[in-house]
Structure 1
């Protein structure tokens, strides 16, 4: 039955209507003019293991995934080489690809996952919690009984290097989160405040990035330097000023 107040459509008019509707469905939506796409936009990053959200405010179409990860090294406190970034269903994003290549939407959410092999994910999560007793059981001191399938095959010197790397990663993450007691435990048990991530950053860089004053004091007491520069030429002081922490 036709709706009240309307006239029944003739067969010709019904056919024309259907053809018009079909044509409308097949017509692609107009693209947003490039002049209307913001040149600078923000993205959000969700750390999947914890649900923590981080905001990256100054992104561009030609920003590379590597540049995102370098900034997340500071903002999220996860060392560059332990990050795995994913967007929608595109799989792990390659470092040299750009945001424009992946059609990132301003305000969109990127997923970040931790490198889980060789016990690194477990260690990172313990450092985020700041539980020194849990961290101490995860291979951060030379007398630790903690082993992984990989570490069982390491000779003496390489095993020491593996332990030192784990202690530094725990120190880096704990310093970012402001877990003073965990930072104290790690420093007193040999973690190096002079070690660096692949981006050239020390634990003091991330402590300064977040304004963690007590952790900064501890790191300085153990020989950290406010003038040590990363690969981008930024010292902890430069980072703190850029992020307006002091």
Structure 2
């Protein structure tokens, strides 16, 4: 007598694994410490493929220091090469990089003076005895860029009086107004706007791609303000320019209770549409308004 083989239950299919994010595309933060001032900044949205040059471009707006004299190092004092990536330099997420200033031509002293906002220190750092005449405009622009980012209004006014180029750009294409908008310095932005800092500025989103939403709102506001300077708005429009339903104001008593309201259909909407049905009827203008309905006028 043959033994009956036990019935086998059908095996369940293996669950499909969820797609994982590639390791090179995982986003994380990096911290940067400026050794000359002791400030610590956070650079968001970094990945393993981010190059050192891209990091410096982001740090320019986050730290408010022009990119041409920035130096980055990690775990030692050796400068990171611009073309290398985060993965190449074995930089771990959430770690702190060392940011330093180019040590020649008095740039560290200029950065410290601009960060402090002290006018006397800025004047002595810009007009040094070894600085030649062609170098002064560049130093004035750099000090203005840093002071506008820190919100030092007195230093900004002083540098503008000394002839700092308000329309100058860093090698990455950033202006002084971008630095002021990155820190949401409204008073500095108003001073820069009065000095013509928003004139001939390209509307490029790539230039200000690191700015937050509030900073972009400040830039958009002052750009709109510049475009509307020469616009003349009429306070009252002529009757020939109005539409037929604009000849009379529906907020006036003569419109609500006079013969003009009878030319319109009254659409009565309930305040609670779940319990009460929608009612649409032709209501004369002089009839009283119910307390539990909302009345709107639409043209026939």
Shared fold, TM over 0.5: yes
- Counterpart of 1:92 in structure 2 is 79
Q: How many angstroms apart in 2 are the aligned matches of 1:184 and 1:53?
A: 27
Q: Which has more helix, going by share of residues?
A: 1
Q: CA deviation at 1:239?
A: 5.5
Spell out, residue by residue over 1:174-227, the C-alpha distance to the aligned partner (whole angstroms, 9 max, x if none): 000000000000001101110111111111111011100011011111111177
Asked if the contact 2:119/2:158 (under 8 Å) is kept, the reply is yes
Q: What SS does the corresponding residue of 1:138 show, helix, strand or coil? A: helix
Aligned to 1:135: 122
How far residue 105 of structure 1 moved from its aligned partner, in angstroms, is 0.8
Of structures 1 and 2, the larger Rg is shown by: 2
Residue in structure 2 matched with residue 68 of structure 1 by the alignment: 55
Q: Which runs of 5+ in 1 are unaligned?
A: 1-33
* TM-score, scaled relative to structure 1: 0.74
Partner of 2:146: 173
Distance (Å, rounded) in 2 between the aligned partners of 1:197 and 1:230 = 16
CA RMSD of aligned residues (A): 2.4
Whether the 8 Å contact between 1:205 and 1:239 is mirrored in structure 2 is no
CA deviations over 1:71-129 (Å, ceiling 9, x no partner): 01000011101110000137100111000101111100000001120111111110000
Please state how far the C-alpha of 1:233 moved relative to its aligned partner: 3.2
Q: Distance in 1 between matches of 2:210 and 2:53?
A: 18
Q: Pick closer, same or farther for the CA change 1:47–1:221 going to 2, 3 Å.
A: same
Note closer, same or farther for the CA distance 1:227–1:105 as it changes in structure 2 (3 Å cut): farther
Give the TM-score of the pair, scaled to structure 2. Answer: 0.61
CA distance in 2, matches of 1:164, 1:132: 17
1:52 correspondence with 2:39: yes
Distance 1:61 1:38 in 2: 7
Residue 244 of structure 1 corresponds to 214
